């Protein structure tokens, strides 16, 4: 049976909810990445590495809370702590000890973090990091990289995956203060030499789209050096890589010290939360002056109703304490490596062009382009840049996602993330689903 037909017939409950959603939610969804034709699955519950939809299907989950669930769904320690907190209140409208503990964990784990300011999301974290950098440098412009994703606020949506001109609703004038360049150090050097108004450089620390287009070796260290040489601040966006690539993120692995770091996702243990962490003198720009007036730099204002709310703080503290020793990351990364290798083995065996690659516990899928890969886990920095930048055709991706759902696996579009609670049995089951899905795509004439 055709892939889409099989999906529609076996998901009547999701279809009904999608119809209802369409009446009140644009395209029926609440996050662009959840849009799927003819409709996405509606999930009823989740536990560990699995989730169940309203039609009773069980899935191995590789979306993993968009990367926030390194410990899997409903991790017992995080759940227990959050439930206890829920009963003690979710918003005190006052300070509480948990926010201090949360900040202390960040300072302990993230190498460059001397002080922390919590936000409610990663988008807010990059917005605040850029604001602090602009205030501290006294320069209005920032430099970002082509296709590097930093959330959806006005300063960063230009030339991300949304396209290369000002996106709908964003004034051109906003983007005049954002210089977008390809991730090439010679271009950065040249651009900064000609734009003394640039006060900050922000980078997705593993490369565009969580490492889908990886950075050349040594890129971050040299970028930090060039930025500092020109008096600009260096911001690492570790919203995805933080606490995942290693406890201390990419900066720990590469020994690079950013001035500011944007954090979110795993930070809050599966609840909403973000943070800017970094140099104390920079974070002090948020502090109230002890002696208002004379010679003090202007304070940066920062309200935010749910900043460091007790529930997110509690989940975050529990999660960070659980993952601080690096074992969860090692386990998730090893599983992802075996999955990537296994998926490439299958592509090679079937002679299907494409590749599955990634860093740490992330993987990205390309099928239908290039040549069949080597049957191993491939370092993405050894793959052709145009293959990685081009990705997979939209219709191939759609049918692949549907075919995998038909076989009990939920990919995150063209990518996925493992957690510390996926198992080798999950990997084996996923590889069966993968082989079956590739065969289905071939039968349908897509591959």
> Does 122 sit near ligand PMP (CB under 6 A)?
yes
Q: How far is the CB of 377 from ligand PMP (least distance, A)?
A: 23
Pick between residue 72 and residue 151 the one whose CB is nearest to ligand PMP: 151
> Does 121 sit near ligand PMP (CB under 6 A)?
yes
CB 362 within 8 A of CB 210: yes
The stretch among 55-63, 93-101, 121-129, 328-336 that binds ligand PMP (CB under 6 A) is: 121-129
CB 208 within 8 A of CB 380: no
Pick between residue 198 and residue 264 the one whose CB is nearest to ligand PMP: 264
> Does 237 sit near ligand PMP (CB under 6 A)?
yes
Q: What is the DSSP letter of 242?
A: B
- Counted residue by residue, the chain has a size of 447
Q: Cα separations (Å) of 392 from 204, 389, 397, 405?
A: 21, 9, 6, 18
The stretch among 88-96, 166-174, 235-243, 366-374 that binds ligand PMP (CB under 6 A) is: 235-243
Q: What is the DSSP letter of 289?
A: P
- Burial class of 391 by CB neighbour count within 10 A (0 to 12, 13 to 18, 19+): buried
- 188-217 residues in contact with ligand PMP (CB under 6 A) are 204, 210
> Does 126 sit near ligand PMP (CB under 6 A)?
yes
Residue 156 — φ and ψ, nearest 5°?
A: -115, -5
Q: How far is the CB of 240 from ligand PMP (least distance, A)?
A: 4
Pick between residue 73 and residue 230 the one whose CB is nearest to ligand PMP: 73
Among residues 223, 264, 328, 360, which is the contact residue for ligand PMP, using CB under 6 A? 264
> Does 149 sit near ligand PMP (CB under 6 A)?
yes
Pick between residue 183 and residue 342 the one whose CB is nearest to ligand PMP: 183
Pick between residue 151 and residue 358 the one whose CB is nearest to ligand PMP: 151
Residue with nearest beta carbon to ligand PMP: 122
How many residues interact with ligand PMP (rule CB under 6 A)? 15
- Among positive and negative, which fits the CA dihedral 247, 250, 256, 260? negative
Distance CA 320, CA 243 (A): 8
The stretch among 22-30, 88-96, 115-123, 338-346 that binds ligand PMP (CB under 6 A) is: 115-123
The stretch among 116-124, 294-302, 367-375, 413-421 that binds ligand PMP (CB under 6 A) is: 116-124
- Burial class of 241 by CB neighbour count within 10 A (0 to 12, 13 to 18, 19+): buried
Pick between residue 126 and residue 437 the one whose CB is nearest to ligand PMP: 126
CA nearest neighbour of 219 among 210, 227, 230: 227
Among residues 57, 73, 150, 331, which is the contact residue for ligand PMP, using CB under 6 A? 150
> Does 239 sit near ligand PMP (CB under 6 A)?
yes
> Does 151 sit near ligand PMP (CB under 6 A)?
yes
> Does 315 sit near ligand PMP (CB under 6 A)?
no
Q: How far is the CB of 149 from ligand PMP (least distance, A)?
A: 5
Dihedral angle, C-alpha 9, 12, 15, 16, nearest 10 °: 150
How would DSSP label each residue in 377-433? PBPGGGS-HHHHHH---HHHHHHHHHHHHHTTEE-BTTEEE--TT--HHHHHHHHHH
SS3 246: strand
> Does 240 sit near ligand PMP (CB under 6 A)?
yes
The stretch among 8-16, 47-55, 117-125, 394-402 that binds ligand PMP (CB under 6 A) is: 117-125
Q: What is the 3-state secondary structure (H, E, C) of 192-219?
A: HHHCCCEEEEEEECCCHHHHCECCCCCH
Other beta carbons within 10 angstroms of residue 253's beta carbon come to 17
CA nearest neighbour of 183 among 202, 210, 157, 155: 202
Pick between residue 266 and residue 440 the one whose CB is nearest to ligand PMP: 266
Contact residues: ligand PMP, CB under 6 A: 66, 121-123, 126, 149-151, 204, 210, 237, 239-240, 264, 274
């Amino acid at each position: 049976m055709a892939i889409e037909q099989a999906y529609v017939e076996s998901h009547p409950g999701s279809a009904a909810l999608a119809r209802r959603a369409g009446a009140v939610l644009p395209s029926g969804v609440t996050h662009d990445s959840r849009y799927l034709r003819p409709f996405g699955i509606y999930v009823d519950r989740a536990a560990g590495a699995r989730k169940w939809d309203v039609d009773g299907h069980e899935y191995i989950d590789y979306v993993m809370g968009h990367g926030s669930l390194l410990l899997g769904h409903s991790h017992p320690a995080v759940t227990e702590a959050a439930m206890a907190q829920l009963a003690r209140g979710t918003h005190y409208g006052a300070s509480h000890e948990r926010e201090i503990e949360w900040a202390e964990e960040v300072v302990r784990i993230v190498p460059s973090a001397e002080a922390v300011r919590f936000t409610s999301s990663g988008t807010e974290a990059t917005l605040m990091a850029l604001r602090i950098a602009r205030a501290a440098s006294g320069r209005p412009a920032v430099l970002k990289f082509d296709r590097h994703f930093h959330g959806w606020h006005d300063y960063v949506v230009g030339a991300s995956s949304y396209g290369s001109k000002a996106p709908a609703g964003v004034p051109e004038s906003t983007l005049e203060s954002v210089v977008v360049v390809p991730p090439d150090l010679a271009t950065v050097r040249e651009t900064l030499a000609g734009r003394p108004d640039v006060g900050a450089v922000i980078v997705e620390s593993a490369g565009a789209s969580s490492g889908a287009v990886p950075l050349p070796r040594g890129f971050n260290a040299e970028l930090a050096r060039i930025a500092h040489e020109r008096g600009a601040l260096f911001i690492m966006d570790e919203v995805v890589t933080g606490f995942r690539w290693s406890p201390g993120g990419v900066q720990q692995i590469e020994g690079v010290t950013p001035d500011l770091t944007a954090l979110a996702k795993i930070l809050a243990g599966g609840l909403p939360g973000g943070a800017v962490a970094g140099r104390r003198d920079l974070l002090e720009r948020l502090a109230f002056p002890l002696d208002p007036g004379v010679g003090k730099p202007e304070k940066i204002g920062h309200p935010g109703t749910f900043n460091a709310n007790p529930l997110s703080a509690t989940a975050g503290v529990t999660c960070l304490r659980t993952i601080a020793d690096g074992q969860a990351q090692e386990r998730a990364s090893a599983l992802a490596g075996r999955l990537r290798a296994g998926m490439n083995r299958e592509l090679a065996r079937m002679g299907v062009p494409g590749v599955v690659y990634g860093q740490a516990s992330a993987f990205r899928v390309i099928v239908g382009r290039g040549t069949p890969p080597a049957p191993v886990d491939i370092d993405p920095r050894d793959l052709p840049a145009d293959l990685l930048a081009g990705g997979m055709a939209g219709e191939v991706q759609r049918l692949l996602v549907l075919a995998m759902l038909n076989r009990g696996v939920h990919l995150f579009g063209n990518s996925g993330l493992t957690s510390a609670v996926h198992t080798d049995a999950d990997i084996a089951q996923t590889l069966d689903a993968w082989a079956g899905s590739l065969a289905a795509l071939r039968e349908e004439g897509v591959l």
